[in-house]
């Protein structure tokens, strides 16, 4: 009888447990670095076309799905409300998603999200929204944060990212704005324009990004330190190529958009250099071996791979080097594998957002070559998939995941020392937005703990976010005893206490710090001198000269010196010692004075959104198709496209029409500057959705917006120019274009 009841109990217990069906996805053809494991933790039918993820405190994954993107080679249905934000769950706790539920649906091309302030930030162009989340996982109390966050059009080049940095601000790629909520109010402020798709940060707080043809760009300095002078446009300390090495190492002949251009593929049809790099991630988890800490991983979706770079920090410079020659960290022969975002998870593992779409080149830039190849190899049929992959190390253990929602304020302070950067970031964020002033004493103790520099930096920025606990005296003491990275943050925060009573003490403090002759400390001293010198130029002049002489050949330090000096009196320059070290600074000063006289501010301080162009058809088409590379104001983008503003190649309008229709390849000189960009501009002649009238509208807009003597191009002429083709696929060279124009006269 006893055995019978035991049997019945077992049957009842097992029959009550739900049986979840989980899809089996093959990883055949995927090669990952030795010592690592790759697994699929989410896939169709639970998600489709994911572009960004984040995690909540329950371990669930929140995902933005851009379902409408490139469902066929013509981009049909892009503007239909088919996008969603989903919550992915692992109900049986076996490490694989077995359930999904929709949080918000009927979205048009959602491209970014972030768990923030106890709710969710998300983007549906042109808007940035914030919603609270009720106990039933329903969105409530939606707030419009910014109605000009992102324009409609090609999502590859519109703002995205929503990356929370250590300074308590959210930064974006493809954007010159940062966002923060303080005391219930949303704040939007200008910042440096960065990158194309994806943005990341290191432990110090420097930002990293890229564009299609440059696998890794970054800043040498903390955000906003070089744009404090509104008339200065820095070009040496931000938006820097961190490596000249753009080589890629595919394991198969993947189809790429510019495969028809000479030198893009080798004799085996393998891609040689990046053409669609995106979404860099500085690995700050704790589940990889120590030598992988702060390595930068970059998505290379055009060859179905992920690249690894090793960073070196040199005080006032950052340098990257590819980890290997002839090998990628992860590579696949699966042409559906399209890594478009990377994240460190609560357990320290790396999560790969695989859009898993056959064609990811937007139709506005899709070349006839790739369109043909996509149909030939049936890439255009891969449209209903989506995956999230997890990368773990065989040599390290994943982090224990703390329950951040249930953690007390004091426990959150302790987590600022956690080995996993994701946990540190989240602990800081919760302390700040919850206003945890009760733990200010604990934070001050941690800020003074020189045994843990990373925790010191988090504690300092947490106190700054709370607006309590810091003082001139506390920060001064920290600068005297801490490591250079901590000192740099303290120097930045000291500016909150610039008062007349502190000027003399600041001067003495800075002189003492300068005597250390440390490159990191000196860079931040240079960035703050102008701010402290207002009205006190003579007092700080000797220190200014010291840094001038010490770094006479360092343009980054020169920009830092100039950044804080917008309001200084002109005689300050004349009083600087007459020596060779002043030449670089004098050049910056002269440019600044000229711009100030014309009231020409850095464009980041002028534009309220992605663009302020008129709403003509030509302007709209330009924003959708051209502004991605040439920028809304026609200033171009480093390593991507030359400027249009006042370019000698805009006129005659037939010349511009030929370039737009058939493309341009090879080097070009614009306004006396030589551009030898490593890719060709594709023409729009094969884009069947653009009529002669549309091309005419673009020519008219570009001519009117960026040249002194605007002239349009009639539709009839556009039709004629469609048949005036270049000698080779890939567009005209500038020399061939000029010869062709002679025959048209």
Residues 391-442 have pLDDT tens digits of 999 988 877 888 898 999 999 999 999 999 999 999 999 999 999 999 999 9
Contacts with 224 (C-beta within 8 Å, 6 or more apart), sequence order: 178, 191, 192
For residue 597, list its beta bridge partners. Answer: none
Q: Half-sphere exposure (CA, 13 Å, Cβ side) for 245?
A: 15
Check residue 328 and give its pLDDT: 98
Give the least confident one: 145-149, 150-154, 487-491, 500-504: 150-154
Query: What is the domain partition of the chain in residue ranges?
Result: 30-393, 409-576, 611-744
Average pLDDT over residues 565-589: 65
Helix (H) / strand (E) element for 668: namely strand 668-670
Dihedral in degrees, nearest 10, Cα atoms 566, 572, 578, 580: -10
| 345-363 pLDDT per residue, tens | 999 999 999 999 999 988 7
548 vs 582, higher pLDDT: 548
Average pLDDT over residues 49-68: 96
| 633-663 pLDDT per residue, tens | 678 887 788 888 878 888 889 999 999 999 8
For residue 308, list its beta bridge partners. Answer: 297
Domains 30-393 and 409-576 share a fold: no
Percent of the chain residues past pLDDT 70, beyond the cut = 92
pLDDT score of 566 more than 70: no
pLDDT score of 575 more than 70: no
Give the least confident one: 165-174, 390-399, 482-491: 390-399
Closest Cα partner for 174 from 186, 162, 166, 165?
162
Average pLDDT over residues 377-388: 95
Q: Give the whole-angstrom CA distance, residue 540 versus residue 526.
A: 11
Check residue 11 and give its pLDDT: 39
CATH of domain 30-393: 2.120.10.30
Residue 4: pLDDT band with limits 50, 70, 90: very low
Check residue 571 and give its pLDDT: 57
Average pLDDT over residues 18-41: 90
The answer to whether residues 240 and 226 touch, using CB atoms and an 8 Å cutoff, is: no
Check residue 622 and give its pLDDT: 83
Check residue 428 and give its pLDDT: 98
Helix (H) / strand (E) element for 560: namely helix 555-563
Check residue 272 and give its pLDDT: 95
| 284-329 pLDDT per residue, tens | 999 999 999 999 999 999 999 999 999 999 888 999 999 999 999 9
Which of the four CATH numbers 3.90.1570, 2.60.40, 1.25.10, 1.25.40 does domain 409-576 have?
Answer: 1.25.10
Closest Cα partner for 207 from 164, 250, 259?
164
Give the least confident one: 78-92, 404-418, 581-595, 688-702: 581-595
Q: Give the whole-angstrom CA distance, residue 468 versus residue 98.
A: 45
Check residue 581 and give its pLDDT: 54
Check residue 568 and give its pLDDT: 55
Closest Cα partner for 651 from 695, 599, 712?
712
Check residue 677 and give its pLDDT: 76
Residue 7: pLDDT band with limits 50, 70, 90: very low
pLDDT score of 258 more than 90: no
Angle (deg, nearest 10), helices 519-533 and 555-563: 30
Check residue 19 and give its pLDDT: 59
Tokens of 679: 């890719």
pLDDT score of 616 more than 50: no
620 vs 210, higher pLDDT: 210
Mean pLDDT, the chain, rounded, equals: 89
| 136-151 pLDDT per residue, tens | 999 999 999 998 898 7
Question: In 395-536, where does DSSP find H-type helix?
Answer: 409-415, 421-433, 440-447, 453-466, 472-481, 484-494, 503-514, 519-533
Tokens of 297: 């991983």
pLDDT score of 14 more than 80: no
Check residue 12 and give its pLDDT: 41
Residue 366: pLDDT band with limits 50, 70, 90: confident
pLDDT score of 632 more than 80: no
Contacts with 152 (C-beta within 8 Å, 6 or more apart), sequence order: 79, 125, 126, 624
The pTM of this model reads 0.84
pLDDT score of 157 more than 80: no
Closest Cα partner for 226 from 212, 242, 240, 209?
240
Check residue 105 and give its pLDDT: 97
pLDDT score of 171 more than 80: yes
The answer to whether residues 181 and 128 touch, using CB atoms and an 8 Å cutoff, is: no
Average pLDDT over residues 264-270: 93
- The CB density around residue 44, as the number of other CB atoms within 10 Å, is 14
CATH class given for the domain over 611-744 = mainly alpha
Q: Give the whole-angstrom CA distance, residue 266 versus residue 286.
A: 38
| 701-713 pLDDT per residue, tens | 788 667 766 678 8
């Amino acid at each position: 009888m006893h055995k019978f009841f035991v049997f019945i109990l077992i049957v009842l217990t097992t029959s009550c447990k739900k049986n979840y069906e989980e899809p089996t996805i093959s990883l055949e053809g995927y090669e990952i670095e030795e010592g690592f494991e790759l697994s699929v933790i989410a896939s169709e039918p639970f998600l489709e076309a994911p572009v960004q993820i984040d995690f909540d405190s329950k371990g669930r994954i929140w995902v933005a799905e851009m379902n409408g993107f490139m469902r066929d080679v013509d981009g049909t249905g892009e503007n239909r409300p088919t996008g969603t934000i989903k919550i992915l769950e692992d109900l049986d706790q076996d490490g694989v998603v077995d359930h999904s539920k929709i949080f918000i649906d009927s979205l048009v091309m959602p491209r970014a999200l972030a768990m923030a302030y106890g709710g969710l930030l998300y983007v549906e162009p042109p808007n940035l929204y914030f919603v609270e989340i009720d106990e039933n996982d329903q969105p409530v109390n939606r707030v419009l944060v910014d109605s000009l966050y992102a324009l409609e059009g090609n999502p590859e080049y519109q703002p995205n990212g929503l990356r929370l940095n250590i300074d308590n601000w959210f930064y974006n790629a493809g954007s010159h704005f940062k966002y923060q909520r303080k005391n219930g109010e949303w704040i939007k402020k200008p910042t440096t324009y960065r990158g194309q798709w994806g943005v990341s940060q290191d432990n110090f707080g420097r930002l990293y990004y890229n564009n299609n043809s440059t696998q890794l760009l970054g800043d040498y300095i903390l955000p906003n330190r070089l744009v404090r002078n509104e008339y200065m446009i820095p070009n040496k300390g931000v938006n820097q190529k961190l490596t000249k090495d753009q080589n890629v190492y595919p394991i198969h002949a993947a189809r790429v958009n510019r495969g028809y251009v000479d030198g893009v593929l080798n004799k085996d049809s393998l891609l040689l250099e990046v053409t669609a790099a995106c979404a860099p991630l500085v690995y700050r988890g704790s589940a990889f071996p120590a030598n992988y800490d702060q390595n930068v991983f970059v998505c290379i979706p055009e060859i179905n791979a992920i690249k690894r770079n090793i960073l070196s920090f040199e005080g006032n410079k950052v340098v990257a080097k590819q980890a290997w020659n002839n090998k990628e960290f992860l590579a696949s022969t699966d042409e559906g594998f399209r890594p478009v975002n990377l994240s460190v998870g609560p357990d320290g593992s790396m999560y790969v957002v695989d859009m898993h779409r056959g064609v990811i080149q937007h139709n506005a830039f899709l070349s006839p070559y790739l369109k043909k190849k996509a149909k030939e190899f049936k890439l255009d049929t891969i449209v209903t998939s989506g995956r999230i992959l997890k990368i773990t190390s065989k040599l390290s253990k994943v982090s224990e995941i703390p329950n951040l929602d249930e953690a007390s304020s004091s426990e959150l302070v302790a987590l600022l020392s956690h080995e996993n950067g994701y946990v540190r970031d989240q602990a800081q964020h919760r302390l700040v937005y919850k206003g945890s002033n009760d733990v200010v004493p604990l934070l001050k103790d941690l800020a003074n703990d020189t045994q843990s520099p990373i925790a010191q930096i988090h504690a300092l920025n947490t106190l700054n976010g709370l607006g309590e606990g810091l003082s001139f005296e506390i920060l001064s003491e920290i600068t005297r005893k801490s490591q250079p990275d901590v000192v740099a943050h303290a120097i930045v925060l000291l500016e909150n206490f610039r008062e007349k009573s502190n000027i003399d003490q600041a001067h003495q403090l800075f002189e003492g710090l300068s005597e250390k002759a440390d490159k990191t400390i000196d860079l931040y001293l240079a960035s703050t001198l102008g701010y402290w010198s207002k009205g006190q130029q003579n007092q700080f002049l000797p220190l200014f000269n010291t840094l001038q002489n010490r770094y006479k050949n360092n343009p980054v330090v020169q920009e830092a010196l100039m950044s804080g000096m917008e309001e200084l009196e002109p005689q300050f320059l004349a009083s600087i010692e007459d020596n060779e070290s002043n030449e670089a600074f004098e050049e910056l000063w002269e440019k600044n004075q000229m711009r100030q006289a014309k009231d020409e501010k850095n464009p980041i301080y002028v534009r309220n959104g992605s663009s302020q162009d008129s709403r003509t058809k030509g302007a709209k088409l330009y924003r959708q198709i051209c502004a991605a590379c040439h920028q809304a104001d026609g200033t171009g983008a480093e390593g991507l496209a030359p400027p249009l503003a006042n370019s000698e190649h805009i006129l005659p309008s037939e010349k511009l029409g030929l370039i737009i229709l058939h493309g341009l390849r090879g080097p070009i000189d614009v306004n006396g500057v030589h551009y030898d960009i490593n890719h060709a501009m594709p023409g729009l002649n094969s884009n069947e959705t653009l009529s002669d009238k549309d091309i005419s509208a673009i020519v008219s807009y570009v001519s009117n917006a960026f040249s002194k003597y605007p002239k349009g191009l009639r539709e009839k002429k556009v039709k004629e120019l469609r048949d005036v083709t270049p000698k080779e696929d890939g567009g005209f060279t500038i020399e061939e274009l000029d010869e062709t124009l002679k025959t048209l006269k």
